[in-house]
Chain A
Amino acid sequence: MAKGRVSIVVERCKACGFCVEFCPTHVLALSSAFNSKGYHPPHVVHPEKCSGCDLCGMYCPDFAICATKVTPTGGGDK
């Protein structure tokens, strides 16, 4: 079971790709979908690999993504 869960605010994204590039476990990829600004936000392609480290959240220039640790009961630890 995944240790973390990614949350994405697609409308804030400008598709810089930092989160995709820097995710240590390669959870993310840019999607083919558009947001209303015409960018391709990331989507989760390997949810089971997420460790919840939130490196994506620390890198994101636009606060458009964050990862949270998942507790054994399935909830985030926020």
Chain B
Amino acid sequence: MKADLQRADAQKADHKPALQKADPRGVLTGVHFMDGDHACCEGALAAGSRFAAGYPITPSTEIVERFASRAPTVGGTFIQMEDELAASITLQGAVWGGAKAFTVTSGPGFSLMMEHIGYAAMTETPCVFVDVQRGGPSTGLPTLPAQADMMQARWGSHGDYEIIALCPNSPQECFDLTIKAFNLAEEFRVPVMFMMDEVVGHMTEKVVIPPADQIEVVPRRHTHKPVADYLPYGTNGDLVPEMAHAGDGYKFHVTGLTHDERGYPNMTPQVQNKLVRRLQDKILNAVDRITLVEEEQLDGADVVVVSYGITSRVAQRAIEVARQQGLRVGKLRLITAWPFPEKKIRELATHVKAFVVPELNLGQMVREVERAVAGQAKTFAVSHAGGGVHNPVDILKVIVEAAR
């Protein structure tokens, strides 16, 4: 049995939004045998999403294929747009209209959506971008896995901003964490990147969907202030503004230009400083509350394997063989890749010999690990250009080398 998912630190009780139970209409309660893409779709429906716009692309297509057939039965809408730019901005219009919305894509489409990810960050539009990663660059390997969009998810749009990124490693997590992604998006009014990979998307496993009354969803943070007192980008102490309910008489301008609390463009260094720092701080101040990691035998470990997504399951084999050989190997799985749980890594770095970071790219998250370790321990990458998963033997070799 896997170690329980646990929060890296004790939960802080500040400004937690009120939770609601899921709308039972969207919850396909039962035990299913489905792939990660379909599970992600069911997660979105369970989270209350009733709108998706997309320009479907392998290997993410099955998510919206299922959504297109399921949505009409629950009062939802799917629109196939003319391209990814249109899809990624259409969902934001739906969000401002009151819907919980998402889009799905893979690397090439994710590149095209970058402008609107920045727009969502700037306008604080809560939405979910699902990226089922395939090999790149460019059209690369349409049907084969990679994890090479991790840095793009964090840095792909211009300017300073923070997003949240989650990495499921099973169809069950594709369901569970999609709900989590929508909840985080609503709580922090931030675009959430749901970083699947081709293998997780297309692998079929048991998925348990609980009854609706056991699924907690975060409702939209609608303001209760009268129209005259409402500031679209004013905050109540927790750095996250409340949204207006469309059609209730709140009239303001949603703009990607630097804006003041009233939403009016105000392009001065003072307003820029206040706004952009708040966009960062609302995430970074809550990093302990956001962070989800899976830990296993970290106490007394000499080597810690840091992995995420499908690679975490391949690495499990290498970890177990290494333990059979007498090595003390701990496992740290990143469920939230962004914001990066650097505090956790930094604490571990004081008493382990080395970190081993296998990933399906030529070195992305390993650099974050290196940065957090800051020379206190060795860091080893186990890179893979994509198109398949690691051979566990390759990871094992590096673990053995790192333990020396």
User: Could you list which residues of chain B lie within 8 angstroms of chain A, going by C-beta atoms?
Assistant: 251-253, 255, 264-265
* B264–A53 touching, CB < 8 Å: yes
Name the B residues within 8 Å of A59 (CB-CB). 253
Is the contact region of chain B dominated by helix, strand, or loop, or is it mixed? loop
Q: Give Cα A22–Cα B252 distance, bound, in whole angstroms.
A: 8
The total of interchain contacts (Cβ-Cβ below 8 angstroms) comes to 12
What's the least CB distance linking B268 to chain A, in Å?
Answer: 15
Q: Give Cα A22–Cα B246 distance, bound, in whole angstroms.
A: 13
What's the least CB distance linking A71 to chain B, in Å?
Answer: 18
Please count how many residues in chain A sit with their CB below 8 Å of the partner chain's CB atoms: 7
User: Could you list which residues of chain A lie within 8 angstroms of chain B, going by C-beta atoms?
Assistant: 21-22, 24, 53, 55, 58-59
Chain A to chain B contacts (Cβ below 8 Å), 6 pairs: A21-B251, A24-B251, A55-B252, A58-B255, A58-B265, A59-B253
Name the A residues within 8 Å of B252 (CB-CB). 55
Is the contact region of chain A dominated by helix, strand, or loop, or is it mixed? helix
Q: Give Cα A22–Cα B255 distance, bound, in whole angstroms.
A: 15
With CB as the reference atom, state the residue of chain B lying closest to A57. Answer: B253
Name the A residues within 8 Å of B265 (CB-CB). 58
Most interface-central of B252, B253, B265 (chain A CB within 10 A): B253
With CB as the reference atom, state the residue of chain A lying closest to B252. Answer: A55
Supplied contacts A55-B253, A55-B264, A58-B255, 9 more A-B pairs, CB within 8 Å: A21-B251, A22-B251, A24-B251, A53-B264, A55-B251, A55-B252, A58-B253, A58-B265, A59-B253
Name the A residues within 8 Å of B255 (CB-CB). 58
Q: Give Cα A26–Cα B88 distance, bound, in whole angstroms.
A: 34
Name the B residues within 8 Å of A21 (CB-CB). 251
Q: Give Cα A28–Cα B251 distance, bound, in whole angstroms.
A: 15
Most interface-central of A21, A24, A53, A58 (chain B CB within 10 A): A58
